[in-house]
Structure 1
Amino acid sequence: MSGTPVPWTRGGSDGRRHARLADLCGRGVDGSEHSRRALEWAAGEARLRGAVLRIVYALPIGLTRSGGPDPHVDAAARGLADLAALARQLDRRPLTVTNDIVDGLPVKVLIEESRHCALLVLGSRGHGGFANLLLGSTAVEVTARTACPVVVVPPGADVRNRSGAVVVGVDDSTGCESALEFAFARAAQRRARLVALQVWNLPRQFSGHSTADVDRVRSDSESLLARAVIPWQDRFPDVIVETRSIEGHVVAELAAVSAAGGEVVVVGGRGRSVVAGAFLGSVSQGLLRHAVVPVAIAR
């Protein structure tokens, strides 16, 4: 994205940042509802930031280097033009859209694009099925290796809901700071409520746990949550914050809380949670399967 800077955006080598919507199927745009939802979310985000929306299409078979006319390249160009026109029509507010056909495998193209942008928004396979895409190796590799935050828009998401809360998962992992930074900056920008959720469970060795054991683990969770949130609340004093410490499964609770009134759910991309006992990568991938709102994986 380029335009008004936001607190969590890192500067690129050329001083420019772009929001990038990438069609992962590497073929003609099929006009599916899944693709439209991802485009609509990305366009809304670009407008919110006063930024440029860049639509990237990966052709993995070397056709862009052939130099002559090719039906695949022509179809991709027409599809990109249609997507750009659609993005501009989704809202009356002005939006600058650029598009490009990039030669290369989708995973490599998207990872390279992420090095030059502030946010990467993943589209779907269209007729191939969004769930199949998310469970496939392409999306797993992309979300694990990008240099910038990634947002994945699930099927059925209400992409026009800009009034919901920003929900963020909190733990003691190395990726949590990035998630909190992204979540607070987004809540401040949208003047939205922020829900910080810490999910805990009893360690396996507590099979014969007592009330004191439960109270101790709950207290540790609440203390962890407070230590994590307070510095960011001081940095963003206008953001209304609700903290919740809940016993349960981290993916299930994040999905449930975000479904009950969230606009986006944010998690870190790496690290391990001691309290929740789960690798954060597994949490993000689990949310991609179960969340009904856009999932932001922060870097």
Structure 2
Amino acid sequence: MTQSVVVGVDGSAESTAAAEWAAQQAHRGGRALRMVHAGGPEAPLSEQPGNPAESLPDVVRALRDRLVDVMPDLEVSCEHVPGSPAHALVAAGEREGLLVLGSRGLGGFAGLLVGSVALQAAAHAGCPVVLVRAGADGGRASGDVVVGVEGGRPCDEVLAFAFAQAAERGAGLRAMESLTLPAGPYVTDAPLAQPQIRVAVAEFELVRLQDALARWREKYPEVEAEAEVTGWPAGRALVEASRSAALVVLGRRTPRLLPAAPRLGATAHTVLHHAHGPVAVVPHG
């Protein structure tokens, strides 16, 4: 259980959307909200004001004040942290266990849906990172939590996060696995090209996925969990599912030998850039 929900704020529309999402997440789980404005050099001690919040941009202080007005029973703190935004935000998130960011901040290019800070955090953080895009047409509060599963073997860390999110929301959960044909000119000769074999493999994968969900259904009996095996590519399937989802949850491998190495694969990049609602990236071993 996280003590606080950490959100990066910089005055952009995306960070505002992230702060609003994080505030709801904190309020729903009975946690505090910690707003972090990162970047820039540290002021000399003689120039630092007595109240750290005074060094915050006006737009960030206004956002903090608005959240306090809307949720008066929510404990909110706001601080400026100098240095690299990605490093500062990841460090803050790892201390608390959850980091929320806007998908693109003030420094991003208009054509990029996910900024460099968000991608760095999602690729390197040792805690779950949720990316929120302003103006997204999905991410409904009443939608299901959708979790992407690779190869019928969902990781405990990923399912634990997804089920906990569904339980907090009183929402259902959809575990989705993609079963697609290999690409290339030889595809018609592949065994899976035969319909009866493809159906049998899909049924086997569905049973395996149902078995993997069984103990989590026991732990969270209030969560109605469904298993789904689709023939669509994983990225496309999850992007489509995000249209009506409250949250899409993805796993991110953390290699044992090089724990700091980024591991955002093609599916994660597709979902992060094109999802219609919030996306959580959960690291696992």
Same fold (TM over 0.5): yes
Q: Cα distance, 1:234 vs. partner? A: 1.7
1:188 paired to 2:167:
yes
Structure 1 residue aligned with 2:149: 170
Code of the aligned partner of 1:250 = A
- State TM-score, norm by structure 1: 0.79
Code of the aligned partner of 1:155 = A
Q: Cα distance, 1:77 vs. partner? A: 4.7
Contact kept, 8 Å, 1:76 with 1:101, in 2: the verdict is yes
1:241 paired to 2:225:
yes
Q: 1:288 aligns with which of 269, 272, 278?
A: 272
Q: 1:48 aligns with which of 5, 10, 28?
A: 28
In the alignment, the residues of structure 1 paired with residue 270 and residue 44 of structure 2 have an alpha-carbon distance, to the nearest angstrom, of: 38
Q: Secondary structure at the match of 2:228?
A: strand
Alpha carbons of structure 1 residues 149 and 131: separation in structure 2 relative to 1, 3 Å: farther
Alpha carbons of structure 1 residues 67 and 133: separation in structure 2 relative to 1, 3 Å: farther
Q: Cα distance, 1:130 vs. partner? A: 7.1
Contact kept, 8 Å, 1:111 with 1:142, in 2: the verdict is yes
1:153 paired to 2:139:
no
1:15-64 superposed Cα distances (whole Å, 9 cap, x missing partner): xx2211113x5xxx3xx43332111111111110111100101123x233
Code of the aligned partner of 1:108 = H
1:144 paired to 2:123:
yes
Structure 2 residue aligned with 1:275: none
Code of the aligned partner of 2:250 = V
Q: Which runs of 4+ in 1 moved over 6 A?
A: none
Q: How many residues end up aligned between the 2 structures? A: 267
In the alignment, the residues of structure 2 paired with residue 175 and residue 218 of structure 1 have an alpha-carbon distance, to the nearest angstrom, of: 16
* Matched-pair identity in %: 31
1:297 paired to 2:281:
yes
Structure 2, unaligned runs of 5 or more: 256-262
Q: Cα distance, 1:294 vs. partner? A: 0.4
Q: How does 1:68-87 map to 2 (within 5 A)?
A: 68=47, 76-87=56-67
Structure 2 residue aligned with 1:120: 99
Q: Cα distance, 1:240 vs. partner? A: 0.8
Contact kept, 8 Å, 2:153 with 2:209, in 1: the verdict is no
Structure 1 residue aligned with 2:19: 39
Q: Cα distance, 1:216 vs. partner? A: 3.5
Structure 2 residue aligned with 1:219: 203
Code of the aligned partner of 2:173 = L
In the alignment, the residues of structure 2 paired with residue 78 and residue 185 of structure 1 have an alpha-carbon distance, to the nearest angstrom, of: 35
Structure 2 residue aligned with 1:90: 70
Query: After the TM superposition, which of the residue ranges 207-216 and 181-190 deviates more from structure 2?
Result: 207-216
Code of the aligned partner of 1:268 = G
Alpha carbons of structure 1 residues 84 and 131: separation in structure 2 relative to 1, 3 Å: farther
Q: Secondary structure at the match of 1:36?
A: helix
In the alignment, the residues of structure 2 paired with residue 133 and residue 160 of structure 1 have an alpha-carbon distance, to the nearest angstrom, of: 16
In the alignment, the residues of structure 1 paired with residue 178 and residue 172 of structure 2 have an alpha-carbon distance, to the nearest angstrom, of: 19
Contact kept, 8 Å, 2:151 with 2:177, in 1: the verdict is no
Structure 1, unaligned runs of 5 or more: 10-16, 273-278
Contact kept, 8 Å, 1:55 with 1:100, in 2: the verdict is yes
Structure 2 residue aligned with 1:104: 83
Code of the aligned partner of 1:267 = L
Code of the aligned partner of 1:22 = G
Q: Cα distance, 1:67 vs. partner? A: 3.4
